[in-house]
Amino acid sequence: MNANSEPRASIESGKYTIHYLISHGFVYFCICDHSYPRKLAFSYLEEINNEFDQSYGQEALKPGIRPFAFIQFDNFMQKTKRVYQDSRATANLDRLNSELQDVTKVMTKNIEDLIYRGDSLDKMSDMSSSLRMESKKYRKAARRINLEAMIKQYIPVVGVGIIFLFLIWWMFLR
């Protein structure tokens, strides 16, 4: 593991899974049965990380630290491990349930947004259909008006031409 590693990941190895969390230069890891819930393992690692940061912070990075300077932290780790050991424990189920509720809220909001966008798209589709129909009506009306204008413009000329032809026919072919 180095600075370019994923900050949290799981590595499967046979019937065990190694979960690790990298935070502020420290690597926290736990080895669990393959069936142990991933979210619960990371919840455990985050709790250990938060407590360690709160208790020791950057003091742990100082050079010259004695090897057993953090031995009292083992008590917290053991207590936390007992809480997380039974994946069916009520507290753990509550934690997972609250995370699931958060995910459900986010998914519900996303679905509502999609439905709203769908409604907006339906409205836009209806408006574009209406606009298309109106433009067809306008085109028909414009053609009719142009035809009427052309008739009004040329009817006197055509009328005079027909009268002239009738007079010629009347005079010469009679």
Residue 1 has pLDDT above 80, yes or no: no
Average pLDDT over residues 165-174: 86
State the Cα–Cα distance between residues 8 and 49, nearest whole angstrom.
Answer: 12
CB 92 within 8 A of CB 84: yes
Average pLDDT over residues 74-86: 84
Domain ranges of the chain: 8-105
What architecture is the 8-105 domain classified under in CATH? 2-Layer Sandwich (3.30)
Predicted confidence band of residue 87 (pLDDT cuts 50, 70, 90):
low
Name residue 132's amino acid.
R
Predicted confidence band of residue 119 (pLDDT cuts 50, 70, 90):
confident
- The DSSP annotation for 80-105 comes to HHHHHHSTT-HHHHHHHHHHHHHHHH
State the Cα–Cα distance between residues 142 and 136, nearest whole angstrom.
Answer: 10
